[in-house]
Amino acid sequence: MRRALALAVTPGVPLGPNPRVGCVLLDADGTTVAEGFHRGAGTPHAEAAALAEAGDAARGATAVVTLEPCNHTGRTGPCSEALVAAGVRRVVFAQPDTNPVAVGGAARLRDAGVDVVGEQLVDEAAAVNRAWTFAITHGRPFVTWKFATTLDGRSAATDGTSRWVSSRSARLDTHRLRALCDTMLVGTHTVEVDDPELTVRDEVDQPVAIQPLRAVMGLRELPGDRRIFNDRAETVHLRTRDPREALARLHELDRQHVFLEGGPTLARAFLAAGLVDEVVTYVAPMLLGAGSSAVGDLGITTITDALHLHVTDVTVLQGHDGEDTNVRLTMTPLPRRN
């Protein structure tokens, strides 16, 4: 199973919208007969790729798969049917497939007389497809809120300048994180004032090949000359102020991981609605004493009502000169206290 998990995360495999899956076929002696992994939407599933490589050697084999074989016909046929047709004797899978359009593969296999063992290394398999698993389970995309701040919690000076709050090393790291998401989300005010392009760029500031969807949330009309409407990536205008409605629309578009990069008003709306699942902040070793806050008024008037977060990672990002330094904190919000 660990080999199948390694296959699932083969470099170059897209993070979505389909789950990443690996498959290993073993003969009766436990020797590997064939391997396969899913290369993205529209390509053969991991089981089909392994079966094609194995040919007649698949008969009587054991298939070890990181996700329960699917039981539906989409761009490709049901993997459960393919395994039965190939004469596979036993199937061992890690993560159950709770996608309503694909569920039922294990039952179909058992009905055909195949020995099925499920839920092996479930946590490891779920981690391979964190956003996909979350979206299937919760019916909405996973939301990461990213912001940069000074030590005293300021995202910009009183004159609105903010360019050097985050260091170059932090900005490069931000583009790396952007590339792990399928949607960039900001509000209409950010588009009007900052005119961001919201693309993923590399170390020489050139756009990379695969770009996330650019989403703008808000009711106001936007000038057509804003950079977010250029041809470097797809853009959608979500004409709502309701975070739940915005996420529902993105879920309909098969989006699974939203990178929230808007200003303090948008951040406040998502936090107040309980729709932030991860917080990534870049803390700069500087003080401003005044200026814009990273988040708008949450209505918290006493320390006992504070929104607490659990720190999952602390990383120091330092440039070559030793001075271009930020600290990246990755956190998950804790449930509000009653």
Active-site residue set: 47
Check if the beta carbon of residue 109 is closer than 8 Å to that of residue 80.
yes
End-to-end CA distance of the chain: 42
Instruction: In whole angstroms, give the CA distance from residue 99 to residue 76.
Output: 16
**142/18 Cα distance (integer angstroms):** 15
Give the span between the Cα atoms of 168 and 176, in whole angstroms.
Answer: 13
Using alpha carbons only, how large is the chain's radius of gyration in Å?
23
- Please state whether the peptide bond connecting residue 17 to the residue before it is cis, i.e. omega within 30 degrees of 0: yes
Distance CA 171, CA 326 (A): 10
DSSP designation for 285? S
CA distance 157 to 237: 29
Three-state secondary-structure class, residue 277? coil
